[in-house]
Amino acid sequence: MSLLPPPTIPGPPATLPSLAEEAVQVRVMQELFKRTRESALVGFLPVGLIVWSHWDAQPYAQLFLWAGLACAVLVLRMALPHFYLRSTQARQATHPRLWYGLEWLGASALALVWAGSLTMVGSGQVDPLFYLRLIFIIALASFMLSALGIVLRLYAGFLALLVLGTLYQLHTSYPVFMRELPIVDLALAVYALMLMVRSRGEQRRTREWVRARLTQRLLLDQLNQTIQQELQVHEALRRKTLELETSNRKLGELATRDGLTGALRRGHVEGELRRMVKAQQRRPTDFSVQLIDIDFFKRVNDVHGHATGDEVLRRITAQARQEVRASDLFGRWGGEEFIVLLPDTRLEQAMEAAERLRLSIQRLTFRGEDGQEFGVTVSIGVAQLEPDESADDLIQRVDKALYAAKHHGRNRVVAHEPGQSELAGLA
């Protein structure tokens, strides 16, 4: 019997799993478009506020033109993430430059729309509404840092268009204001530079966060794979254990049971008999034995064939196992002889059980190889264990009882009672 080799269970990884740069780029793009969608949705609020604050100060046509352009850009910036995030990851990684270009186009249009607000909804006069628009432009540059700052080049392009476009509009439409405050150029440049520095940190933190998330996912996948492998190993061990238990049970049955009839082998029955006799000596109780022999069995083999004789042995075994109690032991003693060990059974009870067994076997019908039907009978000897009697002595007495049953005509039950002479009174 071969032993099951120890299963190989993969251990934890020695180092963190390596990430493909393509996977990092795709994850960064996903995060970029998620933030773009959120910022575009929020962007409708300042547009509505500008329109409301300029409602009586600007011509409706000019005001609606700017608001329409701003809303169109915001809708574009919402539609692009929608299509990107709903596409498969393979399509997301197929044309990264195209997606970057479309995102840059939307960001550039947003920058130009807000820079153009100084002209399209402006009167050329420095008034509170002018400062409101300028404040929104400055706030937009800072707000878009959270959305576009994770890609440095993209944010730099947006910021350059927004700042340069705003300065151009200021110098064109508000020259007096710029002459009075020349520091505005430097202030916007310094502000843009500060935002770019922050953008570098935002990009680095985002990429580190993306790498951490992807690494966590890879580790979880490895853990799940390891768990699945361990479950497979445990299942294989369980199946192998069941196979070994089945094999051991079959081997045990082969060692203890007769291969032809399925009855217990003589060696096993003898061992159980000696164990029971010793137990009776320690705590005396009633214990009896039946020894069964098929009458004229040689004639069955000679007349009907050995195959029919084997069938007779098997059916008698099956019938006897139906008749005996669960606590009784039924075994093949040798050839056509069988034995039954009956614990907690007096001689009279054993005689009655033997008679029932004899009658049930007598009612069986067999068919020979020639098609002829026939029946068989059995002779049964019975004896009860006497105090201080050995197992060998008990077997000798039950064997004498069986001999007496066969000697006096067969097909009968005979008991060997304590104190009885060898053959007298057994008929």
Question: Rounded mean pLDDT of 70-99?
Answer: 85
DSSP string, 180-241: H-THHHHHHHHHHHHHHHHHHHHHHHHHHHHHHHHHHHHHHHHHHHHHHHHHHHHHHHHHHH
DSSP string, 299-346: HHHHHH-HHHHHHHHHHHHHHHHHHS-TTSEEEEEETTEEEEEEET--
Claim to verify: residue 217 and residue 271 sit in the same structural domain: no
Domain membership of residue 427 (yes or no) is no
Domain membership of residue 6 (yes or no) is no
Claim to verify: residue 277 and residue 220 sit in the same structural domain: no
| Sign for the pseudo-dihedral over CA of 365, 368, 371, 375 | negative
pLDDT-based confidence at residue 333 (cuts at 50, 70, 90): very high
Q: How many CB atoms lie within 10 A of CB 318?
A: 13
pLDDT-based confidence at residue 388 (cuts at 50, 70, 90): confident
pLDDT-based confidence at residue 15 (cuts at 50, 70, 90): low
Q: How far apart are CA 221 and CA 358, in angstroms?
A: 71
Domain membership of residue 141 (yes or no) is yes
Q: Answer yes or no: is pLDDT of 414 > 90.
A: yes
Claim to verify: residue 181 and residue 304 sit in the same structural domain: no
- Domain termination residue (choose one: 165, 192, 225): 225
pLDDT above 90 covers a percentage of the chain that reads 45
pLDDT above 70 covers a percentage of the chain that reads 92
Claim to verify: residue 206 and residue 91 sit in the same structural domain: yes
- Domain termination residue (choose one: 225, 250, 278): 225
pLDDT of residue 28: 83
Claim to verify: residue 168 and residue 272 sit in the same structural domain: no
Q: Answer yes or no: is pLDDT of 415 > 90.
A: yes
Q: Answer yes or no: is pLDDT of 210 > 80.
A: no
> Who's near 202: CB < 8 A, 6+ residues apart?
145, 146, 149, 150
pLDDT of residue 418: 66
Q: How far apart are CA 244 and CA 92, in angstroms?
A: 53
- Residue carrying the six token digits 């032993």: 3
Task: Give the range among 119-128, 269-278, 293-302, 417-426 with minimum mean pLDDT.
Answer: 417-426
Claim to verify: residue 93 and residue 204 sit in the same structural domain: yes
- Domain termination residue (choose one: 162, 197, 225): 225
Claim to verify: residue 145 and residue 290 sit in the same structural domain: no
pLDDT of residue 423: 42
pLDDT of residue 285: 84
Domain membership of residue 241 (yes or no) is no
Q: How far apart are CA 219 and CA 213, in angstroms?
A: 10
Domain membership of residue 161 (yes or no) is yes
Domain membership of residue 245 (yes or no) is no
Claim to verify: residue 54 and residue 164 sit in the same structural domain: yes
Q: Answer yes or no: is pLDDT of 5 > 70.
A: no
Number of alpha carbons in the 13 Å side-chain half-sphere of residue 6: 3
Question: Rounded mean pLDDT of 311-328?
Answer: 92
Question: Rounded mean pLDDT of 204-220?
Answer: 81
Q: Answer yes or no: is pLDDT of 107 > 90.
A: yes
Domain membership of residue 236 (yes or no) is no
pLDDT-based confidence at residue 215 (cuts at 50, 70, 90): confident
Domain membership of residue 317 (yes or no) is yes
Claim to verify: residue 270 and residue 220 sit in the same structural domain: no
Claim to verify: residue 297 and residue 198 sit in the same structural domain: no
Claim to verify: residue 38 and residue 186 sit in the same structural domain: yes
Q: Answer yes or no: is pLDDT of 425 > 80.
A: no
pLDDT of residue 88: 78
Q: Are β-strands 413-416 and 378-384 bridged in parallel, bridged antiparallel, or unpaired?
A: parallel
pTM of the model: 0.52
- Which range of residues forms the domain containing residue 393? 266-416
**Residue 357's CATH number:** 3.30.70.270
pLDDT-based confidence at residue 147 (cuts at 50, 70, 90): confident
Mean of pLDDT over the chain: 86
- Number of structural domains in the chain: 2
pLDDT of residue 421: 54
Q: Answer yes or no: is pLDDT of 426 > 50.
A: no
Question: Rounded mean pLDDT of 142-147?
Answer: 89
Q: How far apart are CA 226 and CA 233, in angstroms?
A: 10
Task: Tell me the one-letter amino acid at 58.
Answer: Q
Per-residue pLDDT reduced to its tens digit, 226-267: 899 999 999 999 999 888 888 887 776 667 888 888 888 898
Question: Rounded mean pLDDT of 45-69?
Answer: 91
Q: Answer yes or no: is pLDDT of 2 > 50.
A: no
Claim to verify: residue 108 and residue 36 sit in the same structural domain: yes
